Structure 1
Amino acid sequence: MLTLLGAKSAAAFAARGGHFRFHWPLLAAATLALSSCMPATMSVATTADPADPTAKVARVGYRSAVAPYTSLRPAAPMPWRERNDAVTPQPKQDR
């Protein structure tokens, strides 16, 4: 996101004819400010041991991706020969 902001700023300065110079202290301050918004991670001591067979884990849920599907076909398909003959133009008889 900061890269995109820097690229947009550089393009705006170049369009105005000015010279763009990136300010590293500003980047460091922005990074420090945004890092305080990150959620705190759990410490290693409070997590369950993956090798412990008695550790409690969340249940696994399953939802089918195609479960709500219903066929919207209005009728059974006809053989292709009859369908093709039904839409073919009729030959002219006057020739």
Structure 2
Amino acid sequence: MLTLLGARTTAVFSARGRHFRLGWTLLAAVGLALSGCMPAAVPLASADPANPAARVAPVGYRSTIAPYTSLRPATPAPWRERNDSVAPQPKQHP
């Protein structure tokens, strides 16, 4: 990817000459060399995970379904009265 970027930039700015192309090639080579020296994973915490005496945060429990209340079995409501109570009222003609 870095090589492709260097090739595209070199094609666009070809008026600058060989010095510009050499700089991108050198930058790509240094980037690849340094990427091999990076550790595979960077630890996020300062404590060593292999140390059994390391202090850790306490573990707490919080239920994900705590506000849930069961609604079954429920007795059926009289649907005809409930439906009539929300239905639009018929218009009265004078």
TM over 0.5, yes or no? Answer: no
TM-score normalised over the length of structure 2: 0.29
Structure with the greater alpha carbon radius of gyration: 2
Q: Structure 1 or 2: larger helix share?
A: 2
